Amino acid sequence: MTYVEDEDDRAKIWSILHDIFHPTRDVTISKALKYIVTLRIANDGNMEAHIRDFTARKRQVEEHSINLMDIIYHTFFMLSMLTAYQMTVTAIESQTGVTLEAAQNRLLEEWWNSKGQSKGDGLLMTAVHPKTNRRKAGNSSANRSLHSLQ
Protein backbone atom coordinates (compact mmCIF):
# COMPACT_ATOMS: atom_id res chain seq x y z
CA MET A 1 0.00 0.00 0.00
CA THR A 2 2.88 2.36 0.62
CA TYR A 3 3.65 2.42 -3.11
CA VAL A 4 0.18 3.58 -4.13
CA GLU A 5 -1.40 5.26 -1.09
CA ASP A 6 -1.31 8.72 -2.70
CA GLU A 7 -2.74 7.58 -6.05
CA ASP A 8 -6.43 7.71 -6.96
CA ASP A 9 -6.21 6.59 -10.59
CA ARG A 10 -6.71 2.80 -10.80
CA ALA A 11 -4.75 2.51 -14.04
CA LYS A 12 -1.81 4.36 -12.51
CA ILE A 13 -1.99 2.16 -9.37
CA TRP A 14 -1.91 -0.97 -11.52
CA SER A 15 1.01 0.37 -13.55
CA ILE A 16 3.00 1.21 -10.40
CA LEU A 17 2.38 -2.21 -8.85
CA HIS A 18 3.16 -4.01 -12.10
CA ASP A 19 6.47 -2.17 -12.46
CA ILE A 20 7.44 -3.01 -8.88
CA PHE A 21 6.39 -6.64 -8.70
CA HIS A 22 6.82 -7.81 -12.28
CA PRO A 23 9.89 -6.02 -13.55
CA THR A 24 11.42 -6.84 -16.89
CA ARG A 25 15.11 -6.90 -16.28
CA ASP A 26 17.96 -8.87 -17.77
CA VAL A 27 17.74 -11.40 -14.93
CA THR A 28 14.02 -12.08 -15.38
CA ILE A 29 14.33 -12.23 -19.17
CA SER A 30 17.27 -14.60 -18.90
CA LYS A 31 15.35 -16.78 -16.43
CA ALA A 32 12.30 -17.00 -18.70
CA LEU A 33 14.44 -17.92 -21.72
CA LYS A 34 16.43 -20.46 -19.71
CA TYR A 35 13.22 -22.17 -18.54
CA ILE A 36 11.84 -22.64 -22.04
CA VAL A 37 15.17 -23.70 -23.58
CA THR A 38 15.89 -26.33 -20.90
CA LEU A 39 12.35 -27.73 -20.65
CA ARG A 40 12.23 -31.50 -21.31
CA ILE A 41 9.40 -33.98 -21.03
CA ALA A 42 10.03 -36.57 -18.32
CA ASN A 43 10.65 -40.20 -19.31
CA ASP A 44 7.22 -41.17 -18.03
CA GLY A 45 5.87 -37.68 -18.66
CA ASN A 46 2.36 -36.68 -19.45
CA MET A 47 2.28 -34.95 -22.86
CA GLU A 48 -0.76 -32.88 -21.91
CA ALA A 49 1.04 -31.53 -18.83
CA HIS A 50 4.20 -30.96 -20.86
CA ILE A 51 2.31 -28.91 -23.45
CA ARG A 52 0.71 -26.85 -20.68
CA ASP A 53 4.16 -26.26 -19.11
CA PHE A 54 5.63 -25.27 -22.48
CA THR A 55 2.74 -22.90 -23.19
CA ALA A 56 3.11 -21.28 -19.77
CA ARG A 57 6.84 -20.80 -20.31
CA LYS A 58 6.22 -19.39 -23.80
CA ARG A 59 3.79 -16.92 -22.23
CA GLN A 60 6.42 -15.93 -19.64
CA VAL A 61 8.87 -15.11 -22.42
CA GLU A 62 6.24 -13.11 -24.30
CA GLU A 63 5.32 -11.19 -21.12
CA HIS A 64 8.79 -9.67 -21.27
CA SER A 65 8.01 -8.23 -24.72
CA ILE A 66 10.37 -10.69 -26.38
CA ASN A 67 9.14 -11.47 -29.87
CA LEU A 68 10.67 -14.73 -31.03
CA MET A 69 9.72 -16.14 -34.40
CA ASP A 70 7.30 -19.06 -34.33
CA ILE A 71 9.99 -21.39 -35.72
CA ILE A 72 12.07 -20.75 -32.60
CA TYR A 73 9.27 -21.87 -30.28
CA HIS A 74 8.59 -24.78 -32.62
CA THR A 75 12.27 -25.80 -32.43
CA PHE A 76 12.38 -25.47 -28.63
CA PHE A 77 9.30 -27.70 -28.38
CA MET A 78 10.76 -30.34 -30.70
CA LEU A 79 13.97 -30.33 -28.65
CA SER A 80 11.96 -30.97 -25.50
CA MET A 81 10.83 -34.39 -26.76
CA LEU A 82 12.22 -37.78 -25.77
CA THR A 83 14.02 -39.95 -28.32
CA ALA A 84 10.95 -42.23 -28.26
CA TYR A 85 9.16 -39.49 -30.24
CA GLN A 86 12.04 -38.99 -32.69
CA MET A 87 10.26 -40.49 -35.72
CA THR A 88 7.27 -38.23 -35.18
CA VAL A 89 9.51 -35.21 -34.56
CA THR A 90 11.42 -35.94 -37.78
CA ALA A 91 8.16 -36.28 -39.72
CA ILE A 92 6.91 -32.96 -38.33
CA GLU A 93 10.20 -31.20 -39.04
CA SER A 94 10.22 -32.46 -42.64
CA GLN A 95 6.96 -30.63 -43.35
CA THR A 96 6.86 -26.92 -44.12
CA GLY A 97 4.32 -24.63 -42.56
CA VAL A 98 3.46 -26.86 -39.59
CA THR A 99 2.33 -24.61 -36.76
CA LEU A 100 3.41 -25.14 -33.18
CA GLU A 101 -0.16 -26.06 -32.26
CA ALA A 102 -0.38 -28.65 -35.05
CA ALA A 103 2.94 -30.17 -33.97
CA GLN A 104 1.78 -30.29 -30.36
CA ASN A 105 -1.47 -31.95 -31.40
CA ARG A 106 0.41 -34.56 -33.46
CA LEU A 107 2.70 -35.39 -30.54
CA LEU A 108 -0.26 -35.44 -28.19
CA GLU A 109 -1.98 -37.94 -30.49
CA GLU A 110 1.20 -40.03 -30.56
CA TRP A 111 1.30 -40.00 -26.75
CA TRP A 112 -2.37 -41.03 -26.54
CA ASN A 113 -1.67 -43.88 -28.98
CA SER A 114 1.33 -45.03 -26.96
CA LYS A 115 -0.83 -45.11 -23.84
CA GLY A 116 -3.58 -47.02 -25.62
CA GLN A 117 -6.00 -44.19 -24.86
CA SER A 118 -8.54 -42.48 -27.03
CA LYS A 119 -8.30 -38.74 -27.37
CA GLY A 120 -9.11 -36.83 -24.22
CA ASP A 121 -12.33 -34.90 -23.76
CA GLY A 122 -10.57 -31.54 -23.60
CA LEU A 123 -8.26 -31.24 -26.59
CA LEU A 124 -5.51 -28.86 -25.57
CA MET A 125 -5.05 -27.12 -28.87
CA THR A 126 -7.72 -25.79 -31.17
CA ALA A 127 -5.82 -26.21 -34.42
CA VAL A 128 -6.40 -29.88 -35.18
CA HIS A 129 -6.23 -30.78 -38.82
CA PRO A 130 -9.39 -32.57 -40.00
CA LYS A 131 -7.35 -35.38 -41.62
CA THR A 132 -5.72 -36.31 -38.30
CA ASN A 133 -8.14 -39.18 -37.67
CA ARG A 134 -7.97 -40.63 -41.21
CA ARG A 135 -5.63 -43.57 -41.66
CA LYS A 136 -4.90 -45.93 -44.52
CA ALA A 137 -4.42 -49.57 -43.64
CA GLY A 138 -0.83 -50.76 -43.81
CA ASN A 139 0.82 -47.40 -43.25
CA SER A 140 3.88 -47.40 -41.04
CA SER A 141 4.09 -45.08 -38.07
CA ALA A 142 6.34 -42.66 -39.97
CA ASN A 143 4.00 -42.61 -42.97
CA ARG A 144 1.01 -42.03 -40.69
CA SER A 145 2.89 -39.13 -39.11
CA LEU A 146 3.54 -37.58 -42.49
CA HIS A 147 0.00 -38.26 -43.69
CA SER A 148 -1.61 -36.66 -40.64
CA LEU A 149 0.40 -33.47 -41.07
CA GLN A 150 -0.59 -32.92 -44.69
Q: Where are the domains of the chain?
A: 10-149
Position 13 pLDDT exceeds 90: no
Q: In this predicted model, what pLDDT tens digit does every residue of 108-137 receive, in sequence order?
A: 999 999 888 655 544 444 444 444 444 333
State the pTM of this model. Answer: 0.64
Cβ neighbours of 97 (radius 10 Å): 6
pLDDT of residue 63: 86
Q: How confident is the model at residue 21 (pLDDT cuts 50, 70, 90)?
A: confident
